[in-house]
A and B are shown apart, each in its own frame.
Chain A
Amino acid sequence: MTAVTTDAADGYEAVFDAAVAADERIEPRDWMPDAYRATLIRQMAQHAHSEIIGMQPEANWITRAPSLRRKAILIAKVQDEAGHGLYLYSAAETLGVSRDELLDKLHSGRQRYSSIFNYPTLTWADVGAIGWLVDGAAITNQVPLCRCSYGPYARAMVRVCKEESFHQRQGYELLLALSRGTPAQHEMAQDAVNRWWWPSLMMFGPPDDESAHSAQSMAWKIKRHSNDELRQRFVDICVPQAEALGLALPDPDLRWNEQRGHHDFGAIDWSEFQAVLKGNGPCNEQRLAQRRQAHEEGAWVREAATAYAEKHRHQPAAPDHPEAAQDQRSHVDRPTELQEATA
């Protein structure tokens, strides 16, 4: 490397550092350090993968939802998750990777998704516990990402968080209905909270002194708060909600600490977290296998779409299809109708 280019790179780095320091957004065409780009790709891909894998534990209950209203809500939610995956893959693509590449890394186990989705949904109440606790933890993590230094990620998070808050309220409302229902329903709700509480706390990642990426991510303003700070915030939010639900949180050490102004809570079993992360959780194999299977069994469909596009590349768009103009309108209408369906 010559002295001239080194100076140039130093200049770019200074501009980047100044922009981050001034809370300005880094945009796709801006210069950025390679490590910043790599960190963002890793984090955004993992986030997108989590949305996609996260469809499975909930979709597991679509065909068994106990009322048509709940079924509609659940279908809309799983659909939203696929949509979130699409936003996030698009946002990641602004950094110079392709969705195909990222999916390939997911399918081959080279990139991760959130460990929470390796737990099974064993009863209907799990759908509520996921909404309340898992989406609640995700929102606690993601709201600060709306101010993340990388513009496309921050903007994706604004959209994602709005919908996630909606899901979280629906999950809470589902649990409330069960908690106030028959004794069997109440028991189902309590059992689900017992199983999902600790894994939800693990969603914030390892303790601050063991978190490999935290310090750098905070310096770059990708992260705004430490894992332990966010976990504490989440516990403080959940305790009164659990009381309002009439459900107990499964932690004998959980109590208000007047001096700290926070709830103290018991020790997390990090060995379980590590095991799940390493692929040895209850559903790791099944989740990846289903993802791979959907991709492999869909290969002929994607090939057909590509072949068709190739054959019809030089033709004007559907000249003999009188409905084309109308169809454009009906696509634009979709989100409104969805909101109606889930309202």
Chain B
Amino acid sequence: MTTTANAAALALGDDALVLSHRLGEWAGHAPVLEEDVALANIALDLLGQARVLLSLVGDEDELAYLREERAFRNLQLVEQPNGDFAHTIARQLYFSVWQRLLYGQLASAEGALTGIAAKAVKEVEYHQDHAEQWTLRLGDGTTESHQRMQRAVDALWRFTGELFQPVEGLDIDWQALEAAWLTSLTATLERATLTVPVGPRAGGWAAGAGRQGLHTESFGRMLAEMQHLHRSHPGASW
């Protein structure tokens, strides 16, 4: 793999790794047992993607457990804390619609990530459906669920601009990707009786910051938990 292909695999691998970790935090805490199954299922798919992508770059465990915060290249969106179920679903919605569009393109183009994307896109279709179905139920459910879902899509909106910042090594028409993402998202939110959020999605810290290793504060704590055991036993195998 070339350096630029490495950069792309690392960015996408980190997205999947970090979001998988956040979803893993839900285990045993979901609103219904079926959701414990579903969220764990998605976490596992993402972790599988992360392992393949990181392995293209180097040793998956060294990359996951021995890099510090500033060396991670994931989107700020995926590191956001779970919050309530609506926040988790909003994060899933934004990410899975994007991931499906992106992986769809990668799968149909020639490149180092074609095979991985082709396999992952089937999983991501399911993730997107799951997020959309819950967005509909929460948005068009009760007054309370509607309010919570609207708050969640509003709160995470500012992290979505980063999704369309070019990633080194990915030959993608980012503007077209953003347009397709907005169309898909708008349709879902409208069906869910929700309002498409307004407000800045780019500029300053919101613009590609995670891809440059600039993260939000909760991320360091997440890594501390994720890495502490591995780091406590240098050189051990598990």
Contacts and interface: CB of A to CB of B under 8 A. Distances in A.
Contacts of B176: none
B236 A68 contact: no
A334 B17 CA distance: 20
Contacts of A181: 236-238
A68 B47 contact: yes
B34 interface: yes
A85 B25 CA distance: 19
Contacts of A333: 122
Rank and list the top 5 A-B pairs by shortest CB-CB distance, nearest first: A298-B31, A304-B141, A304-B145, A79-B40, A301-B31
Contacts of A30: none
Given A55-B36, A72-B48, A177-B238, A290 B141 contact: no
Given A64-B229, A75-B40, A300 B125 contact: no
B205 interface: no
- Which of B44, B54, B136 has the most chain A CB atoms closer than 10 A to its own CB? B44
B45 interface: yes
B: contact size bracket = 35 or more
A177 B123 CA distance: 31
Contacts of B31: 294-295, 297-299, 301-302
A303 B141 contact: yes
A72 B238 contact: no
Nearest to B140: A308
A330 B119 CA distance: 12
B151 interface: no
B109 to A, nearest CB: 22
Nearest to B100: A323
Contacts of A85: 33
Contacts of B41: 79, 334, 338
Contacts of A341: 44-45, 47-48
A326 B126 CA distance: 9
A254 interface: no
A79 B230 contact: no
A56 interface: yes
Nearest to A123: B229
Interface of B: 17, 21, 24-25, 27-37, 40-41, 43-45, 47-48, 50-51, 54, 60-61, 64-65, 84-85, 122-123, 125-126, 128-129, 136-138, 140-142, 144-145, 148, 191, 225-226, 228-230, 233, 235-238
A1 B145 CA distance: 52
B41 to A, nearest CB: 6
A59 B37 contact: no
Q: What's the dominant secondary structure at chain A's contact region?
A: helix
Q: Which of B33, B50, B128, B226 has the most CB of A within 10 A?
A: B33
Given A56-B28, A301-B138, A331-B126, A79 B37 contact: yes
A68 B54 CA distance: 11
A215 interface: no
Contact of B50 (A67, A68, A299, A305): A68
A294 B28 contact: yes
Interface string A287-327: 00010011101111111111110011000000010010011
Nearest to A56: B28
B225 A63 contact: yes
B229 A72 contact: no
A83 interface: yes
A96 interface: no
Given A174-B238, A293-B29, A308-B137, 9 more contacts: A68-B54, A72-B51, A75-B24, A78-B27, A79-B36, A79-B40, A85-B33, A297-B84, A301-B31
A326 B141 CA distance: 25
